[in-house]
């Protein structure tokens, strides 16, 4: 998230991936306290993809300064390198930078750390040919020298992979830009070691340049890896001619090109898998949040209605206890029945097996309105439309609950058509400036989710009018 213009962005402190997570409330890691949920929002906010579908470096490594361009060009890239901008690292470097402040499991960093250097080690097996040539050297000093150089090259090659997938090696910022020490510096070291091996192995050492190609394809995104690969392939032909006068080795050029395409393809596949994992986790979090909202909405609708009726019937039974004991017993029996139905409703809601119908809710509404001594004009259950029965039932339940609890009405009328349900009363209606409660808000969400619209407003003659209407065409079925 971009910080406000009047307040400079405070950069998060560098954190080694192995360090323990900061405690909640740690002033070193908290952002500005202008929004209490800002940390939670950042933890699940997905990275913005660029034109190739990758996560932008500005998203995973931190916001750029205002006015900085996200576009890439050779001149801008070199300016960023020497200015210390940590935005150009390559996609593996971007994910490694992100691992300092984002859940490692979310980006698949642990898996890449575990297998990244093993991937490099597999390629290192092909150093057996330079080792065999070095072992055949007659001069013992040259033999030892060459073997040491090859060993140093293998260590530098595997360490370069490990450095890319691990990210920064220190919590303190280096004076050298991140890009140089993660990509450029390892390439220079490997190139110098190839030239050092060429002192004794001559043209046999230039085959080691294939490893520089594979590392470049692994560490850099495609748009930036291709120029580097072309430069390395050209260098493998020009340098031997300048140093030894040997003719170009076209087989070596083909091997370098194939290695670059192979490793680049593997890198793209692994990155796509990491992005797929992140997207799936995001979808799972959204599904869990939606299910929590659904359960909360259903429990409110079920218990809110039932507890309101139970309260009204209990008060009525208390008043009738001395005047009409038999009717008081009847009311208390209804209270027990409603309590049991509420318990069953909560169980079915939690289990996702809720059953709501307009016919059943009309029966419940008739009982609730009679207990509240409200005259009711309700349609016959035999004349009800089958379509939208479930959502009409929810509308009627919530409307009657609010009518009994808040309206102070003495009359209620319900009208049902194949595409709408209307509930009106003669109560106090909505007060000026009043906000809808969670029940009416959840009801509006439920109606809109099935393709309808919910209208609430005061009647000119007094009272409240609730209207849920649906288009005549096909609509979504309620869940």
CATH of domain 377-479: 3.30.565.10
Q: What is the pLDDT of residue 243?
A: 63
Position 421 confidence tier, pLDDT thresholds 50, 70, 90: very high
Does pLDDT of 285 surpass 50? yes
Does pLDDT of 424 surpass 90? yes
Q: What is the pLDDT of residue 291?
A: 66
Ranges of each domain in the chain? 72-284, 377-479
Closest CA to 392 of 429, 426, 418, 427: 418
Does pLDDT of 362 surpass 50? yes
Task: State pTM to two decimals.
Answer: 0.41
Q: What is the pLDDT of residue 433?
A: 52
Q: Tell me the per-residue pLDDT of 386-408, one tens digit each, with 9 for 90 and over.
A: 778 888 988 998 888 888 888 88
What CA–CA distance (Å, rounded) separates 71 from 307? 60
Q: Tell me the per-residue pLDDT of 170-217, one tens digit each, with 9 for 90 and over.
A: 344 434 455 556 677 788 888 888 888 888 877 777 778 788 887 877
% of the chain with per-residue pLDDT over 90: 4
Does pLDDT of 127 surpass 90? no
Position 469 confidence tier, pLDDT thresholds 50, 70, 90: very high
Mean pLDDT score of the chain: 69
Higher-confidence residue of 461 and 268: namely 461
Does pLDDT of 422 surpass 90? yes
Does pLDDT of 247 surpass 70? no
Which residue, chain included where needed, has tokens 């409703």? 345
């Amino acid at each position: 998230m971009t910080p406000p213009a009047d307040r400079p962005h405070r950069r998060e402190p560098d954190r080694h991936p192995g360090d323990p997570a900061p405690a909640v409330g740690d002033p070193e890691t908290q952002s500005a306290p202008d929004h209490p949920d800002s940390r939670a929002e950042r933890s699940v906010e997905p990275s913005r993809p660029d034109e190739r579908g990758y996560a932008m470096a500005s998203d995973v490594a931190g916001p750029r300064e205002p006015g900085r361009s996200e576009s890439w060009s050779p001149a801008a890239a070199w300016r960023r390198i020497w200015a210390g901008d940590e935005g150009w690292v390559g996609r593996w470097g971007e994910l490694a930078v992100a691992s300092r402040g984002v859940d490692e499991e979310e980006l698949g960093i642990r898996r890449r750390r575990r297998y990244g250097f093993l991937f490099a080690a597999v390629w290192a097996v092909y150093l057996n040919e330079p080792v065999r040539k070095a072992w055949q050297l007659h001069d013992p000093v040259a033999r030892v020298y060459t073997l040491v150089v090859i060993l140093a090259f293998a260590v530098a090659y595997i360490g370069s992979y490990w450095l890319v997938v691990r990210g920064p090696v220190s919590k303190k910022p280096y004076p050298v830009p991140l890009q140089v020490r993660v990509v450029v510096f390892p390439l220079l070291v490997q190139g110098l070691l190839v030239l050092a091996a060429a002192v004794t192995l001559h043209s046999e050492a230039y085959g080691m340049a294939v490893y520089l190609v594979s590392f470049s394809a692994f560490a850099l995104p495609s748009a930036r890896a291709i120029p580097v690969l072309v430069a390395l392939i050209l260098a493998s032909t020009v340098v031997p001619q300048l140093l030894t006068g040997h003719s170009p080795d076209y087989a070596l050029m083909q091997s370098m090109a194939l290695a670059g395409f192979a490793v680049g393809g593997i890198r793209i596949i692994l990155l796509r898998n990491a992005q797929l994992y992140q997207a799936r986790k995001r979808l799972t979090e959204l599904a869990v949040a939606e299910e929590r909202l659904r359960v909360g909405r259903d429990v409110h609708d079920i218990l809110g209605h039932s507890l309101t009726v139970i309260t009204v019937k209990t008060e009525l039974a208390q008043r009738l206890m001395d005047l009409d004991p038999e009717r008081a017993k009847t009311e208390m029996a209804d209270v027990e029945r409603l309590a049991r139905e509420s318990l069953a409703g909560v169980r079915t809601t939690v289990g996702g097996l809720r059953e709501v119908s307009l016919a059943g809710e009309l029966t419940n509404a008739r009982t609730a309105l009679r207990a509240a001594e409200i005259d009711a004009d309700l349609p016959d259950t035999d004349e009800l439309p089958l379509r939208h029965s479930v959502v009409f039932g929810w509308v009627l339940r919530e409307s009657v609950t609010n009518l009994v609890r808040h309206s102070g009405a003495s009359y209620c009328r319900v009208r049902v058509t194949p595409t709408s349900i209307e509930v009106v009363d003669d109560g106090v209606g909505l007060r000026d400036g009043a906000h809808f409660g969670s029940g009416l808000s959840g009801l509006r969400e439920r109606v809109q989710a099935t393709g309808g619209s919910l209208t609430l407003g005061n009647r000119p003659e007094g009272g409240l009018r609730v209207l849920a209407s649906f288009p005549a065409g096909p609509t979504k079925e309620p869940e």
